[in-house]
Amino acid sequence: MDVRRWTPLTFVAPARYVDRDDWWQSFDLEAWSQSEYVWTQDEWNGYLDLAKYPRECVEMGRGDCEDYALVALSWAVAHDRDGIGLGFCWDPPYPWPRHVIAFDEEYVYSSGNIYEMSVDEWKADSRYSFVLRRRVTVSS
């Protein structure tokens, strides 16, 4: 088990999880999201959820919310999107995040869905009462 892939660490240091391979420039996130990606929940033991590496998620064609968010984040970095980041989402009564999204200035990327709206608009239409956002700055 690779504890460096523990999901909360993706929030602490999200740029560390971005795949910077040139392959992402030709990757069609929208097409993959609509036809190949299948949301699949990780086995949950109450405290340990491990994120897949972005290419691993794409190759498997499945993953849960943080796996998809890291794929979208890698795609957004490769396409020089502005204002990219991750959002950890809470819904009462849970004391820990229940969902992870990726975002940029124009879109929210959530478990296979791409929404043309801000994080605030997305949150207002969701069941989540709070989104803790972490902007991602990636140096070349």
30 forms bridges with which residues in the sheet? Answer: none
> What average pLDDT does the structure give for the chain?
91
List, for residues 64-92, the tens digit of each pLDDT value: 999 999 999 999 999 999 999 999 999 98
Question: Please, are residues 10 and 63 in contact by the beta-carbon 8 Å criterion?
Answer: no
Q: What pLDDT, on the 0 to 100 scale, is given for residue 47?
A: 65
Is the omega angle on the peptide bond into residue 93 within 30 degrees of 0, that is, cis?
yes
More confident call, 45 vs 9: 9
Q: How confident is the model at residue 60 (pLDDT cuts 50, 70, 90)?
A: very high
More confident call, 105 vs 42: 105
Q: How confident is the model at residue 54 (pLDDT cuts 50, 70, 90)?
A: very high
CATH number of the domain to which 27 belongs:
3.10.620
List the domain range (segments joined by +) for residue 67. 3-135
Stretch 96-119: mean pLDDT: 96
Tally of domains in the chain: 1
Question: Please, are residues 2 and 46 in contact by the beta-carbon 8 Å criterion?
Answer: no
Residue 99 has pLDDT above 60, yes or no: yes
Instruction: Identify whether 97 is part of a domain.
Output: yes
Instruction: Identify whether 140 is part of a domain.
Output: no
Q: What pLDDT, on the 0 to 100 scale, is given for residue 137?
A: 85
